[in-house]
């Protein structure tokens, strides 16, 4: 055994009594784990290549397969975990930075799971969402501080452009290139059917998806890939991406191998060239610079589109957002450190940024204290996993939430966290046509609509239980929340009392 030998992380367990050597697993695995040994007349496995994506397990017609986490671990101790030892060996053999995908998997607190929701009992009774009207619709954009009337007493309406959402959830930015054409098609169709929005990410907008413009947010990131006048005018809002929760402080990198065909055309860069978004926007070094871009985009779209500025949740996020709220932005999206990505340096993903719950509460409070809360709407993202997370985010001050990992799960993602390889067996994070074809956009869209429909019902039930009949009335209502097992500092930042108080 060489010094760098790493025992496979997963074991392929094949029940020989059930296996009929149909070779489905071999056809389905893009990592080349399974093969047929003609000499012995049996299927064999190269476990070193397995990433536990569960594709072969799901499609094996005789249920002969199981993938299990290997219990063969390095000699761990409290300081050196198996994972840490593996990483050192990997780097000692490759000399490269570690790359991974999806969100931060480390054992930091998940504050959503330490917050409990109120329910009405005797006075202010609950509302039955099946019998009473319950409003989940909301609007994002700058709101006036007060209502004005002219000398005749008629309302003077000077509302900035608004986005209308049937429920307070949107699909977060995922670029065409990082995810497949079929994944984009499913997201766009589902958003249109649901009356919500999806987001192009920084990859431009494929011409086939212009027809979903009413349900599209177009993104402008530091690489400015695929940005042109028609693109800016195609959606209902424009998002400037300053940062991303999965990798705060660094840019993006889509390897040249994924820049093929339509992806290259949509991004407006040559086939095979790496798409590198720099860490900073090279024209933004201050709030004044950001303001210039915000107003350039408004000017280019005749002041008809709200401008979203997206930032990663980092230290001092409240002060940062307070500055952005003065830049002319209409909506600010804050992305917590558990937010997913197609590829990120592992050290950054796992160590940089802060939880969305703390960031959101601190930002909402700061904007209220400064009297500028109505200047912007807030969108929270970075591991919103369920309807109850949405409700808690709303009560902490979010006008809406972004989801991405949950949407990918609905499309069939099995969270194997190897999107960066481009070999996603589920046809999501890949540009290989044979893999892309595995994802049926109609079926994907149906599953996304189902997921959101279920969440909407749950949101209405949770609100009804609290005696609240509109999502607008819940926004920032922290009296509806209690912390459990949190210390005083955490409770202070979240602005909530402890359970029992």
Contacting positions for ligand SF4 (CB under 6 A): 12, 28-29, 31, 33, 50-56, 67, 101-102, 408, 413-419, 424-426, 428-429
Q: Which is nearer to ligand SF4, 64 or 167 (CB)?
A: 64
Tell me the Cα Rg of the chain.
24
* Neighbouring residues of 267: CB distance < 8 A, sequence distance ≥ 6: 177, 203, 204, 225, 226, 259, 275
Give how far the C-alpha of residue 404 lies from the chain's centroid of Cα atoms, to the nearest Å: 3
| 3-state helix/strand/coil string of 153-179 | CCEECCCCCCEEECCCEEECECCECCE
Q: Cα(first)–Cα(last) distance of the chain, in Å?
A: 60
Q: Which is nearer to ligand SF4, 29 or 324 (CB)?
A: 29
Q: Which is nearer to ligand SF4, 65 or 140 (CB)?
A: 65
Reference 326, options 375, 292, 384, 395; nearest CA is 375
- Give min distance, CB of 35 to ligand SF4, in A: 11
What is the rounded CA–CA span in Å between residue 108 and residue 256? 34
Nearest approach, Cβ of residue 192 and ligand SF4 (Å): 22
Choice between 101 and 301, CB closer to ligand SF4: 101
Q: How far is the CB of 247 from ligand SF4 (least distance, A)?
A: 15
What does the alpha-carbon distance between residue 214 and residue 226 come to, in Å, rounded to a whole number? 19
- 14 vs 189, beta carbon nearer ligand SF4: 14
Smallest distance from ligand SF4 to CB 95, Å: 25
CB of 364 to ligand SF4, least distance (A): 31
CB 21 within 8 A of CB 41: yes
Q: Which is nearer to ligand SF4, 51 or 391 (CB)?
A: 51
Q: Which is nearer to ligand SF4, 90 or 432 (CB)?
A: 432
Bridge partners for 116 per DSSP? 482
Q: How far is the CB of 28 from ligand SF4 (least distance, A)?
A: 6
- Smallest gap from Cβ 378 to ligand SF4, in A, equals 28
Residue 331, both tokens: 């909506």
Question: Containing H/E element for 230?
Answer: helix 229-234
Q: At what angle do helices 356-369 and 317-324 cross, to 10 degrees?
A: 50
């Amino acid at each position: 055994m060489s010094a760098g030998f790493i025992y496979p992380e997963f074991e392929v367990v094949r029940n020989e009594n059930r296996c009929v050597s149909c070779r489905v697993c071999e056809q389905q695995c893009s990592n080349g784990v399974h093969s047929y040994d003609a000499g012995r007349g049996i299927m064999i496995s190269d476990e070193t290549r397995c990433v536990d994506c569960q594709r072969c397990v799901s499609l094996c017609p005789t249920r002969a397969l199981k993938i299990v986490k290997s219990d063969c671990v390095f000699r761990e101790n409290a300081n050196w975990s198996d994972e840490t030892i593996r990483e050192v060996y990997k780097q000692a053999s490759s000399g490269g930075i570690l790359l991974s995908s999806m969100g931060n998997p480390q054992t930091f607190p998940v504050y959503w799971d330490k917050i409990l929701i109120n329910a009405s009992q005797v006075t202010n009774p609950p509302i039955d969402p099946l019998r009473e009207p319950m409003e989940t619709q909301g609007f994002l954009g700058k709101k006036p501080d007060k209502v004005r009337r002219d000398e005749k007493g008629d309302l003077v309406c000077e509302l900035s452009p608004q986005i209308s959402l049937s429920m307070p959830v949107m699909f977060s930015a995922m670029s065409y290139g990082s995810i497949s054409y079929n994944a984009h098609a499913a997201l766009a169709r589902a958003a249109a059917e649901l009356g919500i929005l999806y987001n192009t990410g920084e990859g431009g907008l494929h011409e086939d998806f212009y027809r979903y413009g009413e349900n599209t947010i177009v993104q402008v990131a530091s690489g400015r890939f695929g940005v042109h006048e028609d693109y800016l005018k195609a959606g209902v809002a424009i998002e400037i991406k300053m940062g991303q929760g999965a990798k705060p402080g660094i840019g993006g990198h889509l390897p040249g191998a994924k820049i093929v065909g339509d992806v290259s055309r949509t991004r407006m860069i040559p086939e095979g060239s790496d798409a590198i978004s720099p860490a900073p926007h090279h024209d933004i070094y201050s709030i004044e610079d950001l303001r210039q871009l915000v107003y350039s985009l408004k000017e280019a779209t005749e002041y008809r589109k709200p401008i979203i500025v997206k930032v990663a949740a980092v230290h001092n996020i409240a002060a940062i957002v307070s500055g952005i709220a003065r830049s002319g932005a209409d909506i600010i999206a804050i992305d917590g450190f558990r937010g997913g990505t197609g590829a990120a340096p592992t050290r950054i993903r796992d160590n940089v940024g802060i939880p969305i719950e703390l960031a959101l509460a601190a930002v909402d409070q700061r904007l209220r204290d400064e009297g500028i809360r109505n200047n912007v709407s807030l969108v929270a993202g970075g591991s919103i996993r369920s309807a109850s997370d949405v409700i808690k985010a709303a009560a902490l001050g979010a006008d809406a939430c972004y989801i991405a990992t949950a949407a990918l799960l609905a499309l069939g993602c099995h969270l194997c966290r190897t999107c960066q390889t481009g070999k996603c067996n589920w046809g999501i994070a890949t540009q290989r046509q044979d893999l892309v074809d595995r994802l049926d956009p109609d079926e994907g869209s149906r599953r996304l609509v189902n997921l959101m429909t279920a969440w909407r019902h749950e949101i209405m039930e949770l609100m009804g239980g609290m005696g609240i009949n509109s999502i607008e009335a819940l926004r920032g209502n922290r009296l509806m929340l209690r912390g459990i097992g949190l210390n005083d500092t955490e409770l202070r930042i979240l602005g909530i009392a402890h359970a029992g108080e």
